[in-house]
Amino acid sequence: MPINEQHQAIQKILIVDDFEDNCLLIKDHLRNQIKCEFREASSGIAALKILENWCPDCILMDIMMPEMDGVEATKRLKSMPKCQDIPVLMVTAKHEIDSLGDAFDAGAVDYIHKPLERTTLVARVRSALRTKENLDRIKELNKELLQKKQELSSFSHTVSHDLKSPIVGAASLYDLFLYRINNEYPQLIEDESLKDILERIPVTFHKMIDFINTQLDYAEAGQVIRKLESVSMTKLIKKVIENFDYAEREGMVTFVELPEMPQVWCDPIRMLKVWQNLIANSIKYRGSKNPVKIEFGVEETKEALKYWICDNGPGILTEHQDKVFETNARLNYDIEGYGFGLATVKKIIEAHGGKISIDPDVSDGVCFVCELPHESVNN
């Protein structure tokens, strides 16, 4: 809803006080200043009952009430998901000032002293309502942004997928064409200039397919595609290292022996992609290090498991460390790539409720730290 429409809307205010005269006074002060709808509750319990079926924009809560006081009522209503963002203003007598600390801890945002003064009451209620309006607008914009992001990801996936099929088909037709040329017109292959062109065509096809696969990987990275399961990270990383056997034989990389690592809740298919990209990144950007040394480790804290991968390559400058996780981020254009590898890793880790960072204390090479929660998360 546009902001100007929100300002014209009727604001809903819940007054919680066991003295009816106080409720009448509050309504009298506010009625001519703010366009609003009132509801009243004579106790904390009655207020919670009203909130089950009605969601106000602001709550004026007396502290001292029978059955359940205002502090306990505030604590309970803040535990209700739909009420967490409703501003609660405590209405308190001066001798109740000691209870304000507990009220703020429970979730109150402001207070008003008795006896009530019209100007102060109107000003503080208006301020609370503006805060609620702005928060609702931010939540609405975030929802729209998330929807557009999902639409863009879906569009990227669809376009990449639809592009891939005809290119793969064209590459297959070219293989057939080349087979016919070799068998039926071998004299054409003897022409060096034509031979060079014919050899360039499949290379171009493979580059296009590789780029599309990279786009598909990134588009799908934020989705956990299967139920999370408890996985041995040691076994998972060993499987990925086996894929780089050729790089070890060529003297490009050497792996330090893996330590025993604790189990982690994850989508193993997505997590394989994380380590595949991180290892490939270390090898690709090893500079003059032949071989580059790659080491893995883990640190377990109360909140999370921190898995790390370090190499002794040239490292990443501090001012570039935040940029490497962005899409199309390429710090070295002399090395072939598309700039999606680390962005894909970031999306996968965040889809698991975790985060990835570069350890700023490592100066010899680079150390990526993947922090994952102990328990599985709902994506």
Q: Of the spans 93-97, 134-138, 338-342, which averages the highest pLDDT?
A: 134-138
Q: So what's the pLDDT on residue 2? A: 44
| Listed residue (35, 93, 33) closest to 69, CA to CA | 93
More confident position, 338 or 220: 220
Note whether residue 124 is domain-resident: no
CA contacts within 13 A on the Cβ side of 165 = 5
Residues 212, 239, single domain; the answer is no
Q: How confident is the model at residue 184 (pLDDT cuts 50, 70, 90)?
A: confident
Residues 136, 149: Cα–Cα separation, whole Å: 20
Residue type present at position 10: I
| Residue 315 contacts residue 366 (beta carbons within 8 Å) | yes
Q: Is the pLDDT of residue 303 over 90?
A: no
Q: How confident is the model at residue 119 (pLDDT cuts 50, 70, 90)?
A: very high
Note whether residue 321 is domain-resident: yes
Q: So what's the pLDDT on residue 337? A: 45
Q: Is the pLDDT of residue 202 over 50?
A: yes
Q: Where residue 14 sits, what CATH number does that domain have?
A: 3.40.50.2300
The H or E element that residue 367 is part of is strand 366-373
Boundaries of domain holding 192? 143-221
Residues 63, 89, single domain; the answer is yes
Q: So what's the pLDDT on residue 333? A: 41
More confident position, 370 or 175: 370
Q: How many other CB atoms are there within 10 angstroms of residue 128's CB atom?
A: 22
Is-above-0.75 flag for pTM?
Answer: no
Note whether residue 131 is domain-resident: no
| Listed residue (237, 228, 233) closest to 276, CA to CA | 237
Note whether residue 217 is domain-resident: yes
Residues 307, 259: Cα–Cα separation, whole Å: 11
As beta bridge partners, residue 225 has none
Q: So what's the pLDDT on residue 221? A: 61
Overall number of domains in the chain: 3
Residues 212, 202: Cα–Cα separation, whole Å: 15
Residues 79, 185, single domain; the answer is no
Alpha-helical (H) ranges within the chain are 3-8, 20-31, 44-51, 70-78, 100-106, 118-184, 186-189, 192-221, 233-242, 245-249, 268-284, 341-351
First-to-final CA distance of the chain: 28
Answer with the one of 171, 204, 221 that is the final residue of a domain.
Answer: 221
Q: How confident is the model at residue 321 (pLDDT cuts 50, 70, 90)?
A: confident
pLDDT tens digits along 79-113: 999 999 999 999 988 666 778 888 999 999 999 98
Residues 155, 276, single domain; the answer is no
pLDDT tens digits along 44-66: 999 999 999 999 999 999 998 88
Answer with the one of 221, 254, 278 that is the final residue of a domain.
Answer: 221
| Residue 305 contacts residue 298 (beta carbons within 8 Å) | yes
Q: Is the pLDDT of residue 318 over 70?
A: yes
pLDDT tens digits along 249-281: 889 999 999 999 988 888 888 898 899 889 988
Residues 43, 172, single domain; the answer is no
Q: Which two tokens stand for residue 308?
A: 């790390």
Residues 241, 166: Cα–Cα separation, whole Å: 33
Residues 168, 248, single domain; the answer is no
More confident position, 231 or 146: 231
Q: So what's the pLDDT on residue 377? A: 44
Q: So what's the pLDDT on residue 238? A: 93
Note whether residue 324 is domain-resident: yes
